[in-house]
Structure 1
Amino acid sequence: MVRVVVVVLAIALVVIGLAAGFQRRLIYLPMPADVPPADERLPEAEEVVLTTEDGLDLGAWYLAPDEPRAAVLVANGNAGHRGLRAPLAERLAAEDLAVLLFDYRGYGGNEGSPTEEGLARDVRAAHDHLVHERGHDPGRVVAFGESLGTGVVTELATEREVGALVLRSPFTDLAAVGRQHYPFLPVRTLLRDRYPVAERVARLDVPVAVAYGTDDGIVPAELSREVAGEARNLVGHRPIEGADHNDAVLLDGDEVIAAVRDAVDALDG
């Protein structure tokens, strides 16, 4: 009996060790292929290079109407690249909004490896581009985060001025999501990257709009509802009935665009 217990403990320790060592490969899922040129996915967009404070060059696309009402900085989720967000950018541009799509380090052919600290540097470079290179008033920048990107933009909003936040499929913190998928692991103890979205949202006074699917199999809807409940200035709460995490309606559907509109209208207040 003692031998059985020892073997079980040894296996558990191996599993925990592997989870700790390879956790970022489970969190960050960049597509291996490079991003196609902008003129193939978003013909009206301009190719942009963002340089981070630690010297990495990141690919980006900038799209703007002649007189944009505001600028939307899009922080992606944990998979794919900016080319997959082209339909979102087109719909936002149709709302008279400037849009900046970019890829994090390690994504879309960019050098580097993604971490919470690294993605924070990446989004700061995107914010700097909109404000210092394009001349957008930071108070008219809407930071749009999808899933993992909600952690990225909420951190940005604690460090830099933004006008509003749009959070698509937000989670309270990364450990809460991890516990849903790996209930047999001490996720909160193991995690290196935390992304405390709800805690940060509770500290912010900017307008916040939240959209999520009620049947989300990756980020449970109750986590998104909890984030919405923490917002001091909630201007849009849009649960999308029956939608799962990667359904088209959550990528660039009407309710997601309406959540952006909620945020921009709050700026016009």
Structure 2
Amino acid sequence: MRDGTGSGRHARRFLAVTGIAVTGAAVVLGAAGGVLAAVMARRIVTPTSKRADDVRIHSVDLPAGMITLQSTADSILQGDYSFWFSGDAGHAHLGEILRLTPTKVTRRILRVDHGDLAGAERGRLGGYSYLGPWDLGLAFEDVLVPTTAGDAPAWLIPAEEPDGRWVIQVHGRGVQRQETLRAAPVFRDAGFTSLLVSYRNDGEAPQSGDGRYALGDAEWQDVDAAIAFAVHRGASEIVLMGWSMGGAIVLQTVTRSALRDRIVGVVLDSPVIDWADVARFHGGLLGLPAVVASGALEVLGRRWGGIFTGQTEPIDFGRLDFVTRAAELELPVLLMHSDDDGFVPATGSRALAGCRPDIVTFLPFAVARHTKLWNYDREGWNQAITIWLAETAPTARTSLPGRPGVVAAS
């Protein structure tokens, strides 16, 4: 039967294209665990709007300022931490460990910002510590950074005596710019203005057309826009700092930005250096064969993979691999990572540090988990940044050739 409206031709064309994609997927996914690889691929690039409460609350004694939690790898870490509870309905700030048993840990309650902690049953710990610049007691400005996806909100914390040195802070996957507030005081003490940015699909900045993460392969454009914003506001020397996936975004920016001549150095906290490492690690946590993780990356890197993931553009994982691309880096890098990270393995960071001891200053941690290095050892973390900045900015380009990198062993 003939379709005179033309819709039949469009339908046949769509089916033909889909058939090619599905055939390609069958070849890749059949070898990589089929549906599991497709599900994993979609999960990697789909932003999550809510995180699970993964720690049980055993008891709360508000008059005594104590809370007893289930012992987990995160809840028994020394230091100060944020604690969200009751499905993010409340937030508290927890401090020192008072008692520790194999199953329970009692911590000091430093403050309750909002919510009914006494009535809460479960929560989750995080490294934020501050919910906004107001918690730091510093002057700040709410600004909008014009990006190709739309205006992205950011916090601008000026230096006490602005001199053109700026740091742009880039948060990680599944969190927002509050994550980076911990770094604002140490940079301000060093004379830097801080710009804490948001980027596409992070829940604050506008969404991209497909609403999917590109793992740094597209988000760098929003950081590039932040650099242009900073230059317009008087920045002459810019340090980029990236946390977790923010590290991958920053590395793309320093190698792809038309304004990279304004960047004088890079600070990375628990960064993604090579996404293949991360995918294999999470596949292992789920008990999946290594081929499933490899298959997931193959799906994400192919145009036909968008049928399964919702992406409009494939991700170039070769371009995101900075172990392989280590020789292309030119700027000084301060790299901090914990071997017990639990989310982003430190193998990529150690490999990068080993490849480029001439420019990479590597500070390893043994026990600090993911992006909680500041919380675990605030003094050591701040000191590392302070010393590195003194050596690097604002004369990074002239001092770089003679500045030895430090690769420490834990």
**TM-score bracket for this pair, using the shorter chain length:** 0.7 to 0.9
Within the alignment, does 1:81 sit opposite 2:176 as a pair? Answer: yes
In the superposition, the TM-score normalised over structure 2's length comes to 0.55
Match of 2:282 among 181, 184, 195: 181
CA offsets 1:21-51 (integer angstroms, 9 cap, x no match): 44312xx446699xx7754666511111011
CA offsets 1:80-106 (integer angstroms, 9 cap, x no match): 211232232133212221111011112
Within the alignment, does 1:14 sit opposite 2:35 as a pair? Answer: yes
1:252, 1:124 → 2: CA distance?
Answer: 31
Q: Which runs of 5+ in 2 are unaligned?
A: 1-29, 52-87, 89-130, 302-314, 400-410
Q: Would you say the 8 A contact 1:29–1:80 is kept in 2? A: no
1:217 alignment partner, SS class: coil
Within the alignment, does 1:144 sit opposite 2:229 as a pair? Answer: no
2:152 alignment partner in structure 1: 58
- Cα deviation for residue 226 of structure 1 reads 0.8
1:130, 1:111 → 2: CA distance?
Answer: 20
- Cα deviation for residue 235 of structure 1 reads 5.0
1:157 alignment partner in structure 2: 254
> Letter of the aligned partner of 1:239 in structure 2?
P
Pick which of 104-113 and 251-260 moved more. Answer: 251-260
In the superposition, the TM-score normalised over structure 1's length comes to 0.81
1:38, 1:107 → 2: CA distance?
Answer: 19
CA offsets 1:209-228 (integer angstroms, 9 cap, x no match): 11111221112222211121
1:10, 1:226 → 2: CA distance?
Answer: 29
- Cα deviation for residue 108 of structure 1 reads 4.1
Query: Residues 232 and 156 from structure 1, CA distance in 2 versus in 1: closer, same or farther, beyond 3 angstroms?
Result: farther
Root-mean-square deviation (CA), in Å? 3.0
Within the alignment, does 1:168 sit opposite 2:284 as a pair? Answer: no
Within the alignment, does 1:127 sit opposite 2:224 as a pair? Answer: no
Structure number, greater radius of gyration: 2
Q: Would you say the 8 A contact 1:143–1:164 is kept in 2? A: yes
- Cα deviation for residue 145 of structure 1 reads 1.0
- Cα deviation for residue 156 of structure 1 reads 0.9
> Letter of the aligned partner of 1:190 in structure 2?
V
Within the alignment, does 1:245 sit opposite 2:370 as a pair? Answer: yes
Q: Which runs of 5+ in 1 are unaligned?
A: 1-8
2:152 alignment partner, SS class: strand
Which one has a larger percent helix, Structure 1 or Structure 2?
1
> Letter of the aligned partner of 2:354 in structure 1?
G
Query: Residues 81 and 172 from structure 1, CA distance in 2 versus in 1: closer, same or farther, beyond 3 angstroms?
Result: closer
Match of 1:103 among 198, 216, 224: 198
Task: Give the number of equivalent residue pairs.
Answer: 254
2:34 alignment partner, SS class: helix
